Amino acid sequence: MKRKFLGYQIISGETLAIARKSIERLKDKIRKITRRNRGVSLEQVIREINIILPGWIRYFKLAKAETTVQRIDAWIRRKLRCYRLKQFKRAITIATNLIDMGISRRSAWKVANSGKGWWRLSHTPQLDKAMSVAWFEDQGLCNLEKMYKSL
């Protein structure tokens, strides 16, 4: 039997999990911050996200939600990749920036000339490699998974 209480979900009377509504509220906040037509720098977006994440993860530290936290962390990084890709706008800018991030010329142009949408492109192997977890940490993004494990 499942019960919800203060954003937690109590499963079988023993295990705490994060309630779906709490996850959706967090995602809605992130969606609002990462709207692609905001015209704000990636650094500013990361600062705004970093205001929310530490408090959210500390609140839910009692939950057994390692895979949930991993999924949310990956989703946030994908949203930021999409945001950054949209900022590049044109194919030549996308290709140039991906080449500067260490992607081969051929792979960078393959992504840049793709007719796929921003969201779909944000999860290509080239972008996953160019904007990896380490890259986001260098940009200053809080790593939810590390924060959860350290609590």
94-130 pLDDT, tens per residue?
999 999 999 999 999 999 999 999 999 999 999 999 9
Task: Report whether 38 contacts 87 (CB < 8 A).
Answer: no
Question: What is the average pLDDT across 129-139?
Answer: 97
Q: Is the pLDDT of residue 86 over 60?
A: yes
For residue range 40-78, list pLDDT tens digits in order. 999 999 999 999 999 999 999 999 999 999 999 999 999
pLDDT attached to residue 12: 79
Q: Is the pLDDT of residue 35 over 70?
A: yes
* 3-state helix/strand/coil string of the chain: CEEEECCEEEECCCEEEECHHHHHHHHHHHHHHCCCCCCCCHHHHHHHHHHHHHHHHHHCCCCCCHHHHHHHHHHHHHHHHHHHHHHHCCHHHHHHHHHHCCCCHHHHHHHHCCCCCHHHHCCCHHHHHHCCHHHHHHHCCCCHHHHHHHC
Q: Could you tell me the pTM of the whole model?
A: 0.93
Give the number of residues written for the chain: 151
Distance CA 74, CA 63 (A): 19
Phi, psi of 3 (to 5 degrees): -130, 150
Q: Is the pLDDT of residue 1 over 60?
A: no
Rounded (10°) CA dihedral 60, 128, 87, 72: -10
